[in-house]
Amino acid sequence: MPHVRRTLSALAVVLALAGTASAEPLFTLTEDGQTYLYRARPGDHPSAVAEMFGIATRDLPGFLAANGIVDPTRVGAGFVYRIPNDPVRALTERTTALQSENAHLVAAATADRERMQGLVRAADESHEAAAEAEGRAARLERVAALWPWARAGLFGLLVIAIAAVYTAVAAMRRRAQAERYARTLARDLDEKRRSALAERQESARRILDLEARIHVLETQLKPRVVISGRSGS
C-alpha cells in the first residue's frame, strides 16, 4: 500500500535523524503501538511534521483535525502530535479479522464435526436397520420355504378335523338311536310288566273264585257226608 510505504520511508528518515540527534527520542509509541507521539521542536510546522511521517498533502486537513489544530501557525514547540501508526493498525485490523475468521472457522469446524457425528450415527442406525431388514428377509425366506409343508400340515389338520366332526356327528346319531331304542324297549317292558301284572291279578282272581266255589261246594257237600255216616252206623 502506498501510504504504508510512505510511512515506512518517513519512519526510516526519523530514525536516521534520531541517530544523529541527542539521546532524547524524537517520538514515542502508545502502549498499543498504534499511535506515534511526537513532541514538536522549535520551528516545526504541522505540514512538515505530517510530511516527516509520510502523510500526503490531501490528508493534511484530517491530520490537523485529528490533533485538534485549528490554526497551523499557532502550534508552538512542545505540542504533542498524535500520528496514526498505519502499519500496526492495519496489522491489528488484519489480526482481528483473522481472529474473527478463525472463530468462524472453528465454529464451522465444530458444526461440521457435529454434522459428521450425526452422519456417523445415522450411518450406524442405517446399518443396524439394514442388518435387521436382512434378518427379517432371511426369516421370511425360511418361512416361505416351509410354507408348502405348513400348508400340507394345515390341510391334514383340516381333514382330521372334518373326520372328527363326522365321527362325532355319527356318534351323536348312534347315541340318539340307542336312546330311542332304549326308550322303546323300556316302554315295551313296562307294557309287558303291566300285562303280566294284569294276568297275575286275573289268575289270582280266578284262583280266588275257584277257592270260593270249592268252599261253597264243600259247604254244600259237608252235611251229606255226615248224614251218610250216621246211616252206616
Which CATH number is 67's domain given?
A: 3.10.350
Q: Which residue has the cell 485529528?
A: 66
- Residue 48 domain-assigned? yes
d(CA 63, CA 6): 15
Grid coordinates belonging to 33: 503501538
- Residue 50 in grid coordinates: 505530517
Domain count, the chain: 1
* Distances in whole angstroms, Cα of residue 100 to Cα of each of 92, 108, 171, 219, 220: 12, 12, 97, 161, 163
**In this model, does residue 21 exceed pLDDT 50?**
no
Q: Which amino acid is at 35?
A: T
Question: How many Å apart are CA 35 and CA 80, to the nearest integer?
Answer: 12
Give the residue with greater pLDDT, 183 vs 95.
183
Task: Specify if 67 maps to a domain.
Answer: yes
**In the prediction, which pLDDT does 22 show?**
46
pTM above 0.95, yes or no: no
**Structural domain that includes position 49:** 2-84
Q: Is 26 a member of any domain?
A: yes
Any idea what the Cα angle at residue 141 is, between residues 137 and 145, rounded to 5°? Answer: 170
pLDDT score, position 16: 44
Grid coordinates given for 143: 418361512
Q: Decide if 11 is inside a domain.
A: yes
Calculate mean pLDDT across residues 2-15.
50
Within-domain flag for 104: no
What's the rounded mean pLDDT across residues 120-137?
Answer: 90
In a domain, 17, yes or no: yes
Question: ∠ CA 108-110-114 to the nearest 5 degrees?
Answer: 115
Evaluate whether residue 45 is within a structural domain: yes
Read off the pLDDT of residues 28-55 as tens digits, 9 standing for 90 and up: 888 887 898 999 999 889 999 999 888 8
Residue 215 lies in a domain: no
Which 3 state secondary structure label does DSSP give 85? coil
